[in-house]
Amino acid sequence: MSKCLGCGITLQDTDKNGLGYTPKLSNDYCERCFKTIHYNKEIKVDNIDNDKIIKKINKLNLFTFYLTDFLSLNNNVINNFKKITNPKILVINKCDIIPINLKLEHLEENIRNIYNISDEVIFISAKNNLYLNYLKNLINYYKEVIFCGETSSGKSTLINNLIGTNLTTSKYQNTTLDFIKIKRDDYVIYDTPGLNILKRDNYDKIKVITKKLSNDYVLEVDDLKIKGTSNITLFISDKSVVKSKKEDLKLDYVIKIDKPTDILFKNGFIFLKDNNININKDLERRNSIIK
């Protein structure tokens, strides 16, 4: 049976509410992809089973590119990367919007050390075609490779820019629904469904905001509340809303540190050099990747 060229799902013409539906089986795209491409319309699907995808990736036993981005790095992402038993490389997308004062070489070293990664780590920009030649060389060398990573990490955009395919891309999550096998004369590429890690807003830029906290005011970043007396720096999505208001509010979680630390949340992270802060939820933290 034919598969949708956009998302890889098997085409069907019997269930209008089911995945893969198309009025004509001779069509190249399912109705979901057609509406996404032509009308920028989101049609939500159930969550993807991460472990099932990783198991299938490992079964193929091919060189694997794992795609993520700077604001998405967290323990869940790295744990999924480490579950892949194939020869692999961690590809950090959207390097063009990383603040210019952060040197990529320094970030790479910190990421490898903090997350104990022995595999190679590289930075690219799929959107602006930056540093893609190395990926092309690896594809030509291995001949058959897999691209995977979180949903909305830019896998399909990257593959389209690397080899000129027409995979469906959008700002929405779970665009690719099944493994898509792309054959060329000299190589084969598999595009895979995006892994669901943490649902966050898609973003175009990284905002860097430095704030001096006060115990009389609550700093709000989306649904995160912060109090204290420290200086903090926010590395956040351009979609995040930051505001401060005077409020007598007790925040239950105390972050105590004695060295530069990143506190991770939905749309970015807080860089804290020293001192303590109070927040309204229990969040992941790590030794800072920017120091």
Between 50-60 and 75-83, two packed helices, what is the crossing angle to 10 degrees? 30
For residue 222, give both structure tokens. 């989306």
pLDDT value of position 49: 80
Contacts of 116 (CB under 8 A, 6+ apart): none
pLDDT value of position 174: 41
Contacts of 74 (CB under 8 A, 6+ apart): 197, 198, 264, 284
Distance between CA atoms of residues 235 and 268, nearest Å: 6
* Whether the predicted pLDDT of 269 surpasses 70: yes
Confidence of residue 172 (pLDDT cuts 50, 70, 90): very low
Contacts of 271 (CB under 8 A, 6+ apart): 232, 233, 234, 235, 260, 261, 262, 288, 290, 291
Identify the residue whose tokens are 């001949």: 143
* Whether the predicted pLDDT of 170 surpasses 70: no
Percent of the chain with pLDDT over 90: 53
Q: Which of 218, 156, 124 is nearest to 5 (CA)?
A: 156
Domain range 57-191, CATH architecture: 3-Layer(aba) Sandwich (3.40)
Q: What is the pLDDT of residues 123-168, one digit of tens each?
A: 999 888 899 999 999 999 999 999 999 877 778 788 888 887 654 4
Identify the residue whose tokens are 């009308």: 39
Contacts of 179 (CB under 8 A, 6+ apart): 8, 56, 190, 191, 192, 193
pLDDT value of position 48: 65
Q: What is the pLDDT of residues 221-262, one digit of tens each?
A: 999 999 999 899 999 999 999 999 998 888 999 998 989 999
Higher pLDDT, 112 or 24: 112
Q: What is the pLDDT of residues 84-97, one digit of tens each?
A: 999 999 999 999 99
Higher pLDDT, 208 or 152: 208
Give residue limits of the domains in the chain. 1-43, 57-191, 206-286
Higher pLDDT, 48 or 30: 30
pLDDT value of position 44: 55
Distance between CA atoms of residues 167 and 176, nearest Å: 8
Question: How many Cβ atoms are within 10 Å of 31's Cβ, its own excluded?
Answer: 18
pLDDT value of position 167: 46
* Whether the predicted pLDDT of 118 surpasses 50: yes
Considering only 5-14, 25-34, 165-174, which range has the smallest mean pLDDT? Answer: 165-174
pLDDT value of position 168: 42
Mean pLDDT value across the chain: 86
pLDDT value of position 198: 60
Higher pLDDT, 147 or 185: 147
Phi and psi based region of residue 211 (left: phi greater than 0; alpha: psi -120 to 50; beta: remaining): beta
Q: Which of 75, 83, 67 is nearest to 192 (CA)?
A: 67
DSSP state of 162: H
Residue 162 backbone phi and psi in degrees, to 5: -70, -45
Q: What is the pLDDT of residues 25-37, one digit of tens each?
A: 778 777 777 776 6
Q: Which of 208, 19, 200 is nearest to 97 (CA)?
A: 208
Confidence of residue 200 (pLDDT cuts 50, 70, 90): low
Between 155-163 and 133-142, two packed helices, what is the crossing angle to 10 degrees? 80
Percent of the chain with pLDDT over 70: 87
- Please state the separation of Cα 106 from the chain's center in Å: 20
Beta-bridge partner residues of 183 = 188
